[in-house]
Structure 1
Amino acid sequence: MMPDLTPKPANPAPPAPDFPWPNGARCALFPGFDVDAESVWLGGDRRNAERLVTMSYGGYEARVGIPKILELLARHAVKATFFVTGWTAEAHPAACEAILKGGHEIAHHGYLHIRPEPGDLATMVEEVDRGFDALKRILGVTPVGYRAPSGENFTELLQLLRDRGIRYSSSWRDDIRPYRHALPDGAGPIEIPVNYSFDDWNFGMSHRSSPRALFGREEVLSIWRDEFDQTRDWNGVATMIMHPQVTGRPMRYRILEEFFAHVRQYDDVWWATGREIADHYEACERAALPA
């Protein structure tokens, strides 16, 4: 079946509404971490299960990356959202429990980090439901947020997520402020859009199957500072996509710490988890309804 190429916006949702950030803040910073561990390598190619050096990229998360990231967040008194695959919760329960003990939000990131593909809803039903089951069974968490593995999604999956209780998504790249999805059968989840410039995978991950140059500290810091400063000027949300197997590396860790120091110089930034942003958005929706 050929896709519909009718000229129309891909996203039927209206532009993001103009609502105030809490306590007079000018913008929001949403620190988000994708906890893929080895699942990101398995979801792309299951033969990687026997390629142990390839798997070791993901194994770094539980051994070093997550503990170091949690130390940094505690030192800066930052609460973050960790999008965790169900496979990771099962494989590394202690590392994931440490995230919860740090007071951070656990959100849904699929089960085996399989990229959603239109036309294969059955696979996504299994991915979503297995992810929910693992997070509940291992961590006692029923997540309200979802970030799509490999950053892809489609209408039927968004409907499924809403019907399973997901209140917000953080995958789309088409705005700088939150908005609510419009689905064929009604309202969808809130979208907290991401900024691809804040995806550390672009700058800090290089491996044998995808060799590329690594970006140095000053290059990444300059991008993050400039993106954040302009987002603040536009009263937006700076949504970060970080991975403990990238930002948990020594030099990348220092980049995040220095970026946090840059943001801290402003006293008008709301540092928030995805759940907190969704709560605030819903409160603003209710306040805008007629009596």
Structure 2
Amino acid sequence: MPADTPRPANPAPPAPDFPWPEGKRSAFFLGFDVDAESVWLGMDRRNAERLVTMSYGGYEARVGIAKLLELLARHDAKGTFFITGWTVEAHPAACEAILKAGHEIAHHGYWHLRPEPGDDETMREEVERGFEALKRVLGLIPVGYRAPSGESCVALLKMLRDRGIRYSSSWRDDIRPYRHLLPDGPGPIEIPVNYSLDDWNFGITHRMSPRALFSREAVLSIWRDEFEQTHAWGGVTTMMLHPQVSGRPMRYRLLDEFLTYVAGFDDVWWATGRDIADHYERCEAARGV
């Protein structure tokens, strides 16, 4: 097929209308991207000498992760922490605290390099070094993956599937989980994300653009609206939070208020990525997929 022939970017069929557990109307997925300084190194390796820039990421291990773990414990909530291999090696104690608190640990690359189609060697190194670091430092093999800078391609999905990744949480094209369809067969389950639920867009843009920070009230309004309509449609509200953003004082307060708000709905299933993947696979099996 010619490259300029119009065709959908995603060949997977529409997301199946699997019911949520216990008759819940929607799902709520707390995902955290633990990048620390690696997000700045992934943008530009020369940032290693720009110490104020690096300090944005350093806040995670010094303050942000611990504060968010306290917040989640207070709400009796479990999250999924997508951690880069670099971060695990640089800040093992902070990452061990996440694991000790009972949260899921998932894969987020190594250097936080955006996957680039055609550069299979770099993608393979990012995937394999990420696996190796998580295994060596934390003693675990993750089943979930979130793409650094939110990019993906067929070659990457194949690598992930072939290395045991059961789900991805990177794509933006649905409100319910679905399974990727690759040229050679089924791929990982996708737990889609929503750009409006990414705290980076509202809380750290001043370092990368002239846009001002968003106020707590503005972001809370956006998050409530996104959650309410996603809940009404029976989807999954997937959060993309960063300890170097939501671990800051005002952003912490924002997240606290939002979690309290969501907890006021008794028909929401709070789940980790692994929980959602397990449920999806059970539903597939029940329907003989």
TM-score, shorter chain, exceeding 0.5: yes
Paired amino acid for 1:69: L
Aligned counterparts of 2:134 and 2:207: Cα–Cα separation in 1: 32
Aligned counterparts of 2:110 and 2:264: Cα–Cα separation in 1: 38
What's 1:183 paired with? 182
Please give the secondary structure, in 2, of the residue aligned with 1:32: strand
Aligned counterparts of 2:102 and 2:165: Cα–Cα separation in 1: 20
Paired amino acid for 2:125: E
Aligned counterparts of 1:157 and 1:126: Cα–Cα separation in 2: 11
How far has the Cα of 1:4 moved from its partner? 2.0
Paired amino acid for 1:44: M
Unaligned ranges ≥5, structure 2: none
Q: 1:131 to 1:12 in 2, by over 3 A?
A: same
RMSD: 1.0
Alignment TM-score, normalising by the size of structure 2: 0.98
Aligned counterparts of 1:99 and 1:269: Cα–Cα separation in 2: 24
Paired amino acid for 1:144: V
Aligned counterparts of 2:240 and 2:166: Cα–Cα separation in 1: 19
Is residue 2:12 matched to residue 1:25? no
What's 1:101 paired with? 100
Aligned pair count? 288
CA offsets, 1:188-246, max 9 Å, x none?
00000001110000000034443320000110000000100000000000000000000
What's 1:57 paired with? 56
Which stretch of structure 1 is more off in the superposition, 106-115 or 206-215? 206-215
Aligned counterparts of 1:101 and 1:270: Cα–Cα separation in 2: 23
What's 2:224 paired with? 225
CA offsets, 1:251-273, max 9 Å, x none?
00011000011111110000000
Is residue 2:46 matched to residue 1:43? no
Please give the secondary structure, in 1, of the residue aligned with 2:241: coil
Please give the secondary structure, in 2, of the residue aligned with 1:12: coil
Aligned counterparts of 1:180 and 1:158: Cα–Cα separation in 2: 11
Please give the secondary structure, in 1, of the residue aligned with 2:257: helix
Paired amino acid for 1:250: P
CA offsets, 1:130-176, max 9 Å, x none?
00000000001100000000000110110010000000000000000
How far has the Cα of 1:113 moved from its partner? 0.1
Residues 68-79 of structure 1 aligned to structure 2 (within 5 Å): 68-79=67-78
What's 1:275 paired with? 274
Is residue 2:95 matched to residue 1:115? no
What's 2:91 paired with? 92
What's 1:147 paired with? 146
What's 1:202 paired with? 201
What's 1:255 paired with? 254
Aligned counterparts of 1:209 and 1:29: Cα–Cα separation in 2: 29
Q: 1:209 to 1:29 in 2, by over 3 A?
A: closer
Task: Tell me if the contact between 2:206 and 2:213 (Cα under 8 Å) persists in the aligned partners.
Answer: no
What's 1:135 paired with? 134
Please give the secondary structure, in 2, of the residue aligned with 1:67: helix
Aligned counterparts of 1:67 and 1:5: Cα–Cα separation in 2: 49
Alignment TM-score, normalising by the size of structure 1: 0.98
Paired-residue identity, %? 78
